[in-house]
A = this chain, B = another copy of it.
């Protein structure tokens, strides 16, 4: 049997809680919704909520593992002979075209980002996710390059690559919040992405 009744119910309950919580947060803001309210809306006890999610933030972060793994995917799926930085440049440019949500944040203006932005707890969480991303990418890079354990090249490279994507997304979000329409943001972001990745490839030597 693939999944007994017990397991199915657990999964359903978990999803119901997470969905309802996310809905409430989107509607009214993370800090304006109590766990008790989520529990009531999901028709379970507060204790049950904490049985499934160990913190309130986890209620909103249910798919962050995907985000954490993203850079490793880019690395893994790059073309044969394609350089690492090249791959990230290509992927990021593609993400701009498709307004992909996975890079740090989506277009910036939507409800999701707003919820995160005005909750200190959630932004802290986001920084945490970013660190995990760095460390994950560093491990993957180390494997890819056959580096010694203890070699800090992969670690530094991971940090610098993700610093670029992080800052680009930060910019995109700032522009969106400033009211710029996406038609203006897109091209500008593309130009800045090229600039940033150039910097990444060539180094800061001549500063």
Contact = CB atoms under 8 A, between A and B. Distances in A.
A85 B205 contact: yes
Interface residues of A, number: 34
A85 B159 contact: no
Nearest to A135: B170
Interface string A175-207: 000000000000000001001100111111111
Identical chains bound together, number? 2
A207 B207 CA distance: 22
Most-contacted residue by chain B among A164, A167, A192, A207 (CB, 10 A): A207
Contact of A152 (B153, B155, B196): B196
A44 interface: no
A43 interface: no
